[in-house]
Amino acid sequence: RHKFWETQPVGQFKDLGDSNLPEGPIEAPTPLSEVKQEPYNLPNLYEWITCDMESKDTCAEVYKLLANNYVEDDENMFRFNYSMEFLQWALRPPGYFKSWHIGVRVKTSKKLVAFITGVPAKIRVRDEVIQMAEINFLCVHKKLRSKRLAPVMIKEVTRRVHLENIWQAAYTAGVILPTPITTCQYWHRSLNPKKLIDVGFSRLGARMTMSRTIKLYKLPETTVTPGFRKMELRDVPAVTRLLKNFLSKFVVAPEFDDNDVDHWLVPRDNVVDSFLVEDPETHEITDFCSFYTLPSSILGNQNYSTLKAAYSYYNVSTKTPLLQLMNDALIAAKQKDFDVFNALDLMENGTILKELKFGPGDGQLHYYLYNYRIKPALAPSELGLVLL
């Protein structure tokens, strides 16, 4: 059934019931001298390139490939439209390897037709902290689909990760592969219901009019929690402490240090927004919330070309109830003119989504580890990892 994935060190469907298999690495590392030194073979018309994501031109080429060929919903109405600034942020975290930003070009025309990336991350599974690669942005041009290019891309990124002496990876996909560690549900909170309905993102509920719908989703003009403000660079140590403590509760979660928090959570215009609650008396930082900006192209609509979506990222509540904190995040997103606020049912999100008028979407996100077995599958609430 899965001619490629059956050959890979991942949990196999046939082993799902087998409680004798141990948790942990599926195969042992090999000596670096035994890692294949040359790239895998591509069909003759194509060549490998390493993408320099510091270069505006390369970044623009990658942007264009993804904007035209990356992930769509099941009815092909929307396609992710990651911005250039977002791609630079996502692909250049502390300690990143340029060699993990892999493109495939047509030899003659030099046109970029496929892409896959990894970035390094420390991820904890129960009480083991493991150096991993986070794999993302796997994309094959629409005209080159179903030619088994994806397995070659995956093997090549695996080889380049191995060359850095890293043997595990984490990734997500909208499709089911062998074998998810957990499956999360997408939830959506309308901020601009009229536009969402006009573009077919959502539908008018039964016995609802447009004006009742607009009223239902109305939010206050300003945030309600005293001391709620934008995160700043000086807040990095306090936010790292909050996050470290919070993420320790989950079975799978990243291990963030100050450098990671500086990169991943200090606000960047049109890329990532972070807020915190500073106690007005003690100036203690007690709560934190964040979301990233990922618009989608609206395919074939006369009136609108992009859907502005915010995606819930990391949230930590110690004093402000999570419900109120996330409500302030919704208000902040509305102030920034987002049309919709999306969230997965991981971490503690499941406890507040309904109350905040999120509704379940038609999409799911499956989480995977490469060369690491977890048994049995986790509940989404045991997962503390958000990939972009």
Q: Which residues are catalytic?
A: 388
Q: Tell me the C-alpha to C-alpha distance, in Å, between residue 359 and each of 139, 214, 322, 342, 354.
A: 29, 15, 18, 10, 7
Cβ-contact 114, 151 below 8 angstroms: no
75 binds ligand JJ1 per the rule CB under 6 A: yes
Counting contacts by CB under 6 A, is residue 40 touching ligand MYA? no
Q: Which of residues 152-171 bind ligand MYA (CB under 6 A)?
A: 154, 157-158, 161, 167-169, 171
Closest to ligand MYA by CB, 73 or 273: 73
How far apart CA 146 and CA 4 sit, in angstroms, is 13
List, in sequence order, the alpha helices (H) in 126-173: 149-162
- 341 lies in the site for ligand JJ1, by CB under 6 A: no
| 174 contacts ligand JJ1 (rule: CB under 6 A) | yes
User: What is the DSSP track for 175-235?
Assistant: S--S--SEEEEEEEEESSHHHHHHTTSS-PPTT--HHHHHHHT---SS--STTEEE--GGG
Asked if residue 173 binds ligand JJ1 (CB under 6 A), the reply is: yes
Strand bridging mode 128-140 / 168-173: parallel
Please, are residues 325 and 292 in contact by the beta-carbon 8 Å criterion? no
Instruction: Tell me: does residue 151 bind ligand JJ1 (CB under 6 A).
Output: no
Using rule CB under 6 A, residue 2 touches ligand MYA: yes
Look at the block and give the residue holding tokens 């390493």: 50
Candidates 22-30, 52-60, 66-74, 207-215; binding stretch for ligand JJ1 (CB under 6 A): 66-74
Q: How far is the CB of 214 from ligand MYA (least distance, A)?
A: 34
95 binds, among ligand JJ1, ligand MYA, none (CB under 5 to 8 A by kind): none
Q: Which helix (H) or strand (E) holds 317?
A: strand 316-317
Contact status: 186 vs ligand JJ1 (CB under 6 A): yes
Report 89-148 residues binding ligand JJ1 (CB under 6 A). Answer: 136
Q: By CB under 6 A, name the binding residues for ligand MYA.
A: 2-5, 69-71, 133, 135-140, 145-151, 154, 157-158, 161, 167-169, 171, 173, 175, 177, 370-371
